[in-house]
Amino acid sequence: MRHELLTCLTGMSILLVGACGRHPDLELDLTKLNFIESNDVFTNGLTANGLTANGLTANGLTANGLTANGLTANGSGASTVDPTQLRLNDLGSISLASLTLSGSPIELATLNGSTIEGKQRELLLTGTDLIGARMNATLLDGTPIPLQIEDVQVRNGVTFYSIALLTDLGPLAMCGTAGDAPIPALAVTGYWDKSATYVHDTARFTFGCVNAAIGKCARWGYQPWATGQECRNNSCKTRALSDWHRACVRLVRADYCGDGIAHTRAGTFINIYDQLNIQQSSSPGWELEAEWGQDGGSCISHTRWVKANNLWTETDLEYVQTHCPDRLASTKPAQCDLSHSTYNTQFGFNKSDSERPLLRNESPQYQ
């Protein structure tokens, strides 16, 4: 399926510290995001008052932390931040044990699928009960960032959260805005480290913006809390879509070497498909770019861009040749024969998800 990509990996680590009412300017309206268009091209690169939800840094996109130049915290629990200097590339992780509401802790907090649940004085809290909850996001470098749940909606069984970054200049939509509505986020168990490697931790979770890698892959159908079916002849196996989701995050970011360095830009069109009939090829006539697993690319035929970041001195292909040359299709022509790859159900059916590529994508080579 052809998609237009936003290249960042967006999530955040949270420690709730209080609560207040819903901000009137941050109503969650998924209809303004064309969210239901599961088989179409999505528009990305959205910005809000200088707060960008995507962008390449000098050393490529960082993996799962907030790039926040000029960001400081004051004693009131709000952030002093120049919004024009704040860039949400990737964020940290959230401790479920830290949630509070109206100044009181939320007990036994868990993530049930995409929904945060907990108790407060024996009262079950879920969904819209958590509107107004505040959180201290902790970035991968330990920097605390105060956040607040502004709104909650459930669509097709998936819970979406509108998250505001609290600053001395007022609340800012964490994921940016589209049509004056905040772009929502999904809650995903665990977190991604600086190499964009997923860390399974049921005590922590990540907010993934739906216009960035983590949330986008869930939107595309690779919901990490769900399962899918893969069938060969008269036999079917249940597959954990969390594995496909992690492979998708690598693919979206063109993280060829699986080291957290992205090689793509916002607004780049690709064609992505799988063997589970979640995403099907739109057959645009492009060449195969690569196969993808949880650890990055394999059988790389060409890079998506000649040089995704013009500040780099080397091309993207030269980066792969230097850092992970064994992932190039040219180094393993027999293994990378597309008709015999374990990506195909015929040959990969009895392989573990960690031993085979799970996704393929095609692209032109952008200059």
Q: Is residue 2 part of a domain?
A: no
More confident residue, 134 or 64: 134
At 112 the pLDDT is: 95
Q: Is residue 232 part of a domain?
A: no
Residues 117 and 150 in one domain: yes
Which among 74, 84, 79, 60 has a CA at the least distance from the CA of 12?
A: 79
More confident residue, 82 or 333: 333
Which among 47, 31, 10 has a CA at the least distance from the CA of 262?
A: 10
- At 9, the pLDDT band (50, 70, 90 cuts) reads low
User: Is pLDDT above 90 for 169?
Assistant: no
Q: Tell me the helix, strand and coil percentages in the chain, rounded to 5.
A: 15, 35, 50
User: Is pLDDT above 90 for 48?
Assistant: no
C-alpha span between 312 and 111 (Å, rounded)? 40
Q: Is residue 313 part of a domain?
A: yes
User: Is pLDDT above 60 for 89?
Assistant: no
- The answer to whether the beta carbons of residues 186 and 58 sit under 8 Å apart is no
Residues 251 and 343 in one domain: yes
Q: Is residue 117 part of a domain?
A: yes
At 297 the pLDDT is: 98
- The answer to whether the beta carbons of residues 334 and 266 sit under 8 Å apart is no
Residues 212 and 250 in one domain: no
Q: Is residue 139 part of a domain?
A: yes
For residue 37 the two structure tokens come to 């268009």
More confident residue, 224 or 139: 224
Residues 136 and 258 in one domain: no
At 202 the pLDDT is: 94
Q: Is residue 136 part of a domain?
A: yes
Residues 40 and 174 in one domain: yes
At 94 the pLDDT is: 82
- At 211, the pLDDT band (50, 70, 90 cuts) reads confident
Residues 207 and 291 in one domain: no
Q: Which residues pair with 31 in a beta bridge?
A: none
Residues 125 and 250 in one domain: no
User: Is pLDDT above 90 for 356?
Assistant: yes
At 3 the pLDDT is: 66
At 37 the pLDDT is: 25
Q: Is residue 1 part of a domain?
A: no
Question: DSSP characters for 294-316?
Answer: TTEEESB-S-SBS-SSTT-SS-H
Where a domain ends, among 220, 249, 273?
Answer: 220
Provide mean pLDDT across the span 288-317.
96
Highest mean pLDDT among 89-98, 108-117, 203-212: 108-117
Count Cα atoms within 13 angstroms, Cβ side, for 111: 24
User: Is pLDDT above 50 for 219?
Assistant: yes
> What is the domain extent for residue 278?
237-367
User: Is pLDDT above 50 for 76?
Assistant: no
For residue 56 the two structure tokens come to 């390449």
Residues 152 and 276 in one domain: no
Question: DSSP characters for 136-158?
Answer: EEE-TTS-EEEEEEEEEEEETTE
Residue with tokens 């949880």: 294
Provide mean pLDDT across the span 51-77.
29
Residues 20 and 135 in one domain: yes
Highest mean pLDDT among 20-29, 195-204, 209-218, 288-297: 288-297
Q: Which residues pair with 107 in a beta bridge?
A: 119
Where a domain ends, among 220, 249, 283?
Answer: 220
Residues 189 and 337 in one domain: no
What's the pLDDT tens digit per position in 243-280?
A: 999 999 999 999 999 999 999 998 899 999 999 999 99
Residues 170 and 243 in one domain: no
Residues 196 and 259 in one domain: no
At 15 the pLDDT is: 24
Lowest mean pLDDT among 32-41, 84-93, 348-357: 32-41
3-class secondary-structure state, position 135: strand
At 59 the pLDDT is: 23
Lowest mean pLDDT among 31-45, 207-221, 253-267, 277-291: 31-45
Average pLDDT, the chain: 78
The tally of domains found in the chain comes to 2
C-alpha span between 107 and 104 (Å, rounded)? 9
At 2 the pLDDT is: 59
Where a domain ends, among 220, 255, 282?
Answer: 220
Per the confidence metrics, is the pTM higher than 0.95?
no
Q: To which H or E segment does residue 348 belong?
A: helix 345-348
**DSSP state letter for 181:** E
Q: Is residue 324 part of a domain?
A: yes
- At 97, the pLDDT band (50, 70, 90 cuts) reads confident
At 236 the pLDDT is: 97
